Amino acid sequence: MSLFRVLLALLCPPLAVLDKGCGSIVITFILTLIGWVPGVIAALIILNKAPEPEYV
C-alpha cells in the first residue's frame, strides 16, 4: 500500500480502490455516501488486504 493510495483513500475513497474490482468500488461508494468515515475505513481495509496468489 503506497502513500499515494492512502492519501487518495482519505480524500476520495472510491477512487483509491478502482483497480480492486467493481464490487469494491460499489461498496466503498455506498459507504462513502452514508458517511465519509465508513468509506475511508472500507477503502483502507480493501487496500490493506493481501493480494491473492496468481496460479500459472
Tens-digit pLDDT profile for residues 1-56: 789 999 999 999 999 999 888 999 999 999 999 999 999 999 999 999 877 778 87
Is 56 within a domain? no
pTM of the full predicted structure?
0.83
Domain span at 40: 3-48
Centre a 10 Å sphere on the Cβ of residue 50 and count the other Cβ atoms it contains.
5
Is 55 within a domain? no
- 3 state DSSP class of 30: helix
Is 53 within a domain? no
- Predicted confidence at residue 4, as pLDDT, reads 92
**CA-wise closest residue to 14 among 43, 46, 41:** 43
Is 40 within a domain? yes
The amino acid that residue 35 corresponds to is G
Is 54 within a domain? no
* Cβ–Cβ under 8 Å, residues 55 and 26: no
Location of C-alpha cell 487496500: 47
- Predicted confidence at residue 13, as pLDDT, reads 94
Is 39 within a domain? yes
* Cβ–Cβ under 8 Å, residues 39 and 14: yes
Domains held by the chain: number:
1
